[in-house]
Chain A
């Protein structure tokens, strides 16, 4: 209710505005300027209407006069700003004009729509100062020539004179020294440096200091950090707790190190821009330059590439050009003559980009850049480098509306790259042909060398292993052989069993299948066996040790367990299929109790009639139980394989599986004899054998000389003794095969290099290349087979070693099982590799690494050259404005990222232009400019007034015209680094991966090296206004109680204060000496008399307190306060000085 009344009241008030109370310039024009000029002013004249002078308003546009004097209700202006329909109402964006505003405009028209005759229209945007190329102005002639140290002072002095300001005296030497130290290297002078400077009477003492500082590595770190603010340096972030990289990227610290390096070398700023935007095109094989594209990587946003490119446009515009290009993402710029189309033209420079990881010397391969899959997380890469390249040379830039990528403007052709016309210049985009090493990085020599060294190292290791295994074998052989002999003798002394002694079915070993429990189905796909001719024979021997059901099948499909032909021995019956059917019939009988338990089974294949002739001979008496009985073949051929299937309750042995051609030539023989088959081992995984999935657990199959695996007694002992010997022998074999495998790998690697080099060489000889490619293919297959052989040998050795263990060893059975399982896998791989080896060579081989497009669009090079061109009106001005701001605490143009028409005007336009031209004339080098600035008189003035009654204060309270130096505060990094430095603990190491925040209070490295990103900041630094990694153009300078707490209570300041106090105390025994030394070290100045006496009193107060508290003295742990009264008080003093406002203050 109250609210409604309020509105009614304001409406009433609005209606009351009388014409005579309204002044056009005071009341009306500001409203129009704020809400209307953007579309109806110098920049644009929508509907051919301008509203930036009274005359224009009265004259009107396409629809006639906007304001008819004395007739507000008939005036179009009023009609449009009061329209009820939102589509009709002006302005089209934002809230409607308020009733008060409307009333004022109405009243003005009612009063005759008068405007001053002298009124000037808005100036032409092309005339805006910052859009015109800077020209070096002549340094002003100044009466007070004594004050002028260099041209900078002339420009500054000109404003002093103009505004009647008297510049302050030069600062005291110690103030100046601390100022320039903190400014140039971000660290205060130590007491020694201070004294040396104070004692240097030479007229160039200061200049010497400046040169030394500018050439120190600390200068590079300090000023790199400034530029990192502008270039929005950020380590990767997104979801660090997962971890999941969404923004920026792992290893981007290499870009940070590039910045430090470039600043330190005083690389030209134009060159820095070129490298950051386009190193991949201008220095495509120089890793130390490629990392500069971190500028582009930093804006990366994995979830949305549109956002990535949007950020790139905005921050390229802000950082280098001082242009707010983000505004024209959605509509033509409101203040600057930049259209929405020009926005998308600018974006088109970045359209083809993508990220890639490259390997660097001495580090593991970071692998290919993973394409994003929603819902997966991607941790940071931990090696190599991240960089930019043009991935899609035909990428199209499509315009969309409302800043929403979903609203593609239908019918608009793709936008071509281009720069805002108002800034002039040209961009010639030339396609860049990249050298091979750039798009096929695996060709880089260091990668070959490192890979070769890695393989050679493996060869060396394997060779040493062979030597060691041989030595061990030689040493232990006599004992092992003796053990075997003894075990053999023990077996011989065993009492003869009642039943017939078990032995192999044929030869010394057979395949025993025990399915007393479960079911065992062994399959064999008969590798290498071709289609059999008519009349070929397949035979095997079978021993039924427990009669239940066992069958042999010619398989139709092994994986699915389908059969073609079938011969079963089931409880006395021999069963098979009738020809051309799957119908069983009894082909014969046997009687186990009558010693009919060992048979020879022969199948004569009659492929022409699709039959087999089955014969079964009883081995004990040679009697034929079945003789050439016709049975179904059902179209079998050998590639489909065979099954042995022992069903539950049965126990059988097989041996001498043979396939012979009609003439008797042996095509296949499996006899399970040593050394191909070893006592106690399963056959699965070798020579085509596998255990079928339809087997049931509990059943076993293994090759043995005995009827069953021994579980105890002399036979087990013999088995173990043999295994122990075999283990040592196999260890040698394993090591030897490893050597062979590593050598084959080296040969393969070399062959692949030769093939790749030939393929990508400029002199391409097709025949020679084809040969090399095929050679690479062969060598690669050989390497795979050699590696597989190695794996089989290693697994065999492991199995033998496991079997040699005592039966009581609890780990024995598990180890045997594990080894058997790896052996099975290794053998399967070997079979595959050997099969592959038999194939003819082809053109396939594993590429050495990823390849990328062989060309780059050249778009970013063109953009960078246009930005870094001496004719660009903005680039140099924006850069020197930053430099000036960092030296003086305030830039010449307050709006560092907006040099457009809505930005602030420079305080010293001629100085800004002079500096910009000077900067470019010096090859865009910063150090000459630093030197000029810090040696100017303007820089050396006092900051302190010593009172509030200085006459300048009334004329220029904000010191806009630099009649004194600005008092400042240390930036976050400087606070932390300075404490470390003064305590003598700062670690001078330069560069490297970002340091995690967890080490914030313990690491002694410079603050620039801590992880700094959009997700979180190091707490200590954040409290002192560390840069916002996402909006880093300007730092705040707050005064917070949390800063006081951090300085007072943090482990860092406490520990370092104590360290410094203890160090100072060794040279300064007397309190007065100590006090002076502490003040000079921490605050770079001696204490005043008042301060000294207050300090003495404080030391006395603390000592008394400690005495009263019962402090005992004695030794002190390094991280605790001293136990000595005097020392503890001195620690307090140093700590208090770090907490002194003067410590963080720059005067």
Chain B
């Protein structure tokens, strides 16, 4: 386990606890109550019997930070990482005409598809040919779509899980990917929130769990909501807009920097006077710390997100020099800078909400979306590898579900050219810290319909990530909040180094 490497001059801009030392305060004089967490966050109402985790991993971790890339709307596994020649061979035929067991008759069909609206989605039956070619890459001959030439060059660094399934056949599957529960079941904390809850900070100046991305549909917040763990474990939304990188993280209009610093110091001074009067008030202690952290965050976040500190070569690597790839390239480069600085969980929303949802014109939509992410994601993998950060940072690349092998021919569609939602089989991949590179794990059937070999429900990805971070989810459970066995998932050992 290497430490987070320092990478040139940009890291020297972080002056840990500078603000505190400026004030001549520091932490020595402040007794920390046992209920206060590492980072100055206290839960006053936490039942005393349950003290909560101490921030240390349960066993030796293999990864320290996660970059979780999510593509919204449902990426076709068939046109990306799981191409099936049979679709071309039997194009235009129905499932029952193809020489395979009819996948819609399989008991798996009802088992892995539970509709919120109380009806099964239209049963499309006519096989739709692959909308793009593919070629084999790397030492294992991993089949990758021609729309992803840059990522294809990275397959030897990636472990693919081609046998994912989920159970919601509509877009609440996106939230299911993040908290593990079907829309009809009670919500759970998101995966990032569990990590925030379970692990201490690596950087006193930055949040532990951030969200990078844009969305119009506020339900996207479910992906980084802590639910019953409490709002202190929500992901914090950071923005690449230099004027407002952190919610309420920018000085008010007309306020001078020194004016605000003096004021922070004054508040701290008053609070310390109060603390002397109320030594038993643990909330007050926590609030003093939270003010210090707030001020440090306000200073550190803009620095961490300042991509101008990176070289032009780095910008090119992430595709920031090209308008097609610039937006997502910037988001991933920012995520790398945050992971490098110790942010534990970086949820990077690498699409618009529902962007990949190609009920029609899959060829046009997917080729365009692939072009927007291919270079940046490959750039991230190359950057992590050559800098050695891949020893510390785990990358997860996921979506909510795959797309049907059949053509979606819903009534009223003049010229059907797309695929419907498909919870029964899709691909997720992982790379970096703790991952065995170059692995192809699991498989869907000949038509790419059902995950049949080593099927994995979405929480197996959660379990894998938690395991690599050294956490046992059973030991994080909160008394009184019932979790089902399937909520914990099982780590996928075959893809671990």
The judgment on whether A and B are partners is yes
Chain B residues bordering chain A, tally (CB within 8 A): 71
Answer whether A1136 and B218 are a contact pair too, CB < 8 Å, given A969-B283, A1040-B232. no
A1099-1147 contacts to B (CB < 8 Å): 1101-1102, 1105-1106, 1109, 1119-1121, 1132, 1135-1137, 1139-1142, 1144-1145, 1147
- Interface centre among A95, A1025, A1141, by most chain B C-beta atoms within 10 angstroms, is A1141
Whether B256 contacts A1039 by the Cβ 8 Å rule is no
Query: Which of B114, B236, B291: most chain A CB closer than 10 A?
Result: B291
Q: Is the beta-carbon distance between A1048 and B248 smaller than 8 angstroms?
A: yes
> Cβ of B266 and Cβ of A1025 under 8 Å apart?
no
B283 close to A1049 (CB less than 8 A):
no
Q: Which residue of A lies closest to B225 (CB)?
A: A1028
Judged by a CB distance under 8 angstroms, whether B176 is at the interface is no
CB of A1121 within 8 A of CB of B255, answer yes
The digit string for B105-147, where 1 denotes a CB below 8 A from any CB of A, is 0000010001011110000000000000000000000000000
Convert B249-270 into 0s and 1s, putting 1 for each residue whose CB lies closer than 8 angstroms to a CB of A. Answer: 1111111101110111011011
> Given contacts A306-B118, A969-B44, A1105-B256, are A1141 and B264 in contact (CB under 8 A)?
no
Report A-chain residues with C-beta under 8 Å of the C-beta of B251.
1049
| Residues A1028 and B227 in contact, CB atoms below 8 Å apart | yes
Q: Name B287's contact: one of A94, A304, A947, A1039 (CB within 8 Å).
A: A1039
Query: Is B43 an interface residue, CB under 8 A from the partner?
Result: yes
User: Which one of B42, B119, B230, B286 contacts A374 once the chains associate, using CB atoms below 8 Å?
Assistant: B119
Contact of B232 among A303, A1016, A1031, A1038 (CB under 8 A): A1038
B231 A1091 Cβ-Cβ under 8 A: no
**B293 CB–A CB distance under 8 Å:** yes
Find chain A residues with CB under 8 A from B110 CB: 406
Say if the beta carbon of B453 comes within 8 Å of chain A.
Answer: no
**Measured between alpha carbons, how far is A1030 from B181 in the docked complex, in Å?**
15
Q: How far is the CB of B305 from chain A (nearest CB, A)?
A: 16
A1109 with B256, Cβ < 8 A, contacts A948-B279, A1037-B45 known:
yes
Given the interface contacts A304-B184, A969-B283, A1142-B274, does A405 sit within 8 Å of B260 by beta carbon?
Answer: no
- Which residue on A lies nearest to B269, using beta carbons? A1094
Residues of chain B in range 370-399 having any CB-CB distance to chain A below 8 Å: none
Pairwise interchain contact B278-A3, C-beta atoms closer than 8 A: no
Q: Do the beta carbons of A1045 and B249 come within 8 Å of each other?
A: yes
Which of A303, A946, A1050, A1147 has the most chain B CB atoms inside 10 A of its CB?
Answer: A303
> Which B residues are in CB contact (< 8 Å) with A406?
110, 114
Cβ of B216 within 8 Å of any chain A Cβ, yes or no, is yes
Q: A947-B280, A948-B279 given as contacts; is B273 within 8 A of A1039 (CB)?
A: no
In the complex, the answer to whether B48 meets A1042 with C-beta atoms within 8 Å is no
Q: Are A958 and B230 in contact (CB under 8 A)?
A: no
Taking a contact as CB atoms under 8 Å apart, the answer to whether A1025 and B230 are in contact is yes
- A1048 contacts which chain B residues (CB < 8 A)? 248, 260, 263-264, 294
Q: B280: which A residues are within 8 A, CB to CB?
A: 944-945, 947-948, 953
Determine if B248 and A1036 form an interchain contact, defined as CB atoms under 8 angstroms apart. no
Q: Is the CB of A1049 within 8 A of B249?
A: yes
Chain A residues in 8 Å Cβ range of B277: 944, 946
A307 CB contacts on chain B under 8 angstroms: 116, 184
A838, chain B: closest CB distance, angstroms = 41
Within 8 A of A (CB), among B17-62: 40-45, 47-48
Contact yes or no, B231 A241, CB < 8 A? no
**A residues less than 8 Å from B217 (CB atoms):** 239, 241
- In the complex, the answer to whether A1038 meets B271 with C-beta atoms within 8 Å is no
Q: Tell me, yes or no, whether B363 is within 8 Å of chain A by CB.
A: no
In the complex the two chains form, is B43's CB within 8 Å of A1054's CB?
Answer: no
Query: Are A405 and B284 in contact, CB atoms less than 8 angstroms apart?
Result: no
Contacts of A1023 in B (CB 8 A): 231, 247
Complex CA gap A1041/B209 in Å reads 13
Q: Which A residue's beta carbon lies closest to that of B264? A: A1048
The one of A240, A404, A967, A1091 that contacts B283, using a Cβ cutoff of 8 Å:
A967
- Partner of A1041 from B118, B221, B297 at Cβ < 8 Å: B297
Contact with B along A545-573 (1 / 0, CB 8 A): 00000000000000000000000000000
> Is the Cβ of B44 less than 8 Å from the Cβ of A1145?
no
Q: A944-B278, A969-B283, A1045-B246 are in contact. Are A1051 and B252 (CB under 8 A)?
A: yes
Known: A948-B279, A1037-B43, A1045-B246. A1022 touches B262 (CB 8 A): no
Would A1022 and B118 count as touching, CB distance under 8 A? Answer: no
A1044 on the B face (CB < 8 A): yes
Q: How far is the CB of A186 from chain B (nearest CB, A)?
A: 19
CB of B485 within 8 Å of the partner chain? yes
Pick the contact of B270 from A895, A1094, A1135 — CB < 8 Å?
Answer: A1094
Asked if A1145 and B230 make an inter-chain contact with CB atoms under 8 angstroms apart, the answer reads no
Complex-state Cα separation, A948 to B258, whole angstroms:
37
Task: Please name all residues of chain A whose beta carbon is closer than 8 Å to the beta carbon of B184 when the two chains form the complex.
Answer: 304, 307
A405 to B290, CA, bound (A): 47
The answer to whether B247 and A1019 touch across the interface, beta carbons within 8 angstroms, is yes
- Assess the A303–B117 pair: CB atoms within 8 A: yes
Complex Cα gap A95–B487 (Å): 13
Q: Are B42 and A1038 in contact (CB under 8 A)?
A: yes
Tier of interface size on chain A = 35 or more
Residues on the A chain within 8 Å of B99, using CB: none
The distance from the CB of B15 to the nearest CB of chain A, in whole angstroms, is 17
Tell whether, in the assembled complex, residue A1015 and residue B42 are in contact, meaning their CB atoms are under 8 Å apart: no
Query: CA A1041 – CA B45 in complex, angstroms?
Result: 18
Q: Is A1043 an interface residue (CB 8 A)?
A: yes
State the Cβ distance, A924 to closest chain B Cβ, in Å: 28
A572 to B485, CA, bound (A): 95
With a CB–CB cut-off of 8 A, which chain B residues contact A947? 279-280
- In-complex Cβ contact of B297 among A1045, A1102, A1121 (8 A): A1045
Within 8 A of A (CB), among B78-122: 110, 114, 116-119
Q: CB distance A304 to B493 under 8 Å?
A: no
Given A241-B216, A1016-B218, A1037-B43, residue A1140 in contact with residue B256 (CB < 8 A): no
Taking a contact as CB atoms under 8 Å apart, the answer to whether B270 and A1045 are in contact is no
Measured CB to CB, the closest approach of chain A to B214, in angstroms, equals 12
Give every chain A residue within 8 A of B258 (Cβ-Cβ).
1105, 1109
**Inter-subunit contact A1025/B231 (CB<8 Å):** yes
Do A1041 and B218 have beta carbons less than 8 Å apart? no
- The smallest C-beta distance from A893 to any residue of chain B, in angstroms, reads 13
Are A1038 and B230 in contact, CB atoms less than 8 angstroms apart? Answer: yes
B219 closest partner in A (C-beta): A1015
B271 to chain A, nearest CB (A): 5
> B-facing mask of A898-913, CB < 8 A → 1, else 0?
0000000000000000
Q: Say yes or no for A805: interface residue by CB 8 A criterion.
A: no
Taking a contact as CB atoms under 8 Å apart, the answer to whether B252 and A1042 are in contact is no
- In the complex, the chain A residue whose C-beta lies closest to that of B258 is A1105
B297 partner residues in chain A, CB cutoff 8 A: 1041, 1045
Q: Is the CB of B288 within 8 A of A894?
A: no
- In the bound assembly, the distance between CA atoms of A1095 and B184 in angstroms comes to 55
Residue B316 is within 8 A (CB to CB) of chain A in the complex? no
Known: A94-B485, A1042-B236. A240 touches B227 (CB 8 A): no
Indicate with 1 or 0, residue by residue over A764-805, a CB within 8 angstroms of chain B CB atoms: 000000000000000000000000000000000000000000
Q: When chains A and B are docked, how far (Å) is the Cα of A1039 from the Cα of B42?
A: 6
Residue among A945, A1039, A1137 with max Cβ neighbours from chain B (10 Å): A1039
Q: B286 contacts which chain A residues (CB < 8 A)?
A: 1039
**Complex: A895 Cα to B219 Cα, angstroms:** 29
Residue of B nearest to A1047 (CB): B248
Question: How would residues 1014 to 1028 of chain A score, 1 for a CB under 8 Å from any chain B CB and 0 otherwise?
Answer: 011001001101001
B117 to A241, Cβ gap below 8 A? no
A1043 engages B290 (CB within 8 Å)? yes
Interfacial chain A residues near B250, Cβ < 8 Å: 1049
State whether the Cβ of A378 lies closer than 8 Å to any Cβ in chain B. Answer: no
Question: Are B45 and A1141 interface neighbours, CB within 8 A?
Answer: no
Q: Which residues of A contact B284 (CB under 8 A)?
A: 1141, 1145
- List, sorted by A's number, 6 A–B pairs whose CB atoms are closer than 8 Å: A967-B278, A1034-B45, A1038-B42, A1040-B41, A1046-B248, A1136-B266
The 9 closest A-B pairs by CB, nearest first: A1044-B294, A1041-B294, A1045-B248, A1016-B218, A1036-B230, A1039-B286, A1041-B293, A1038-B232, A1054-B252
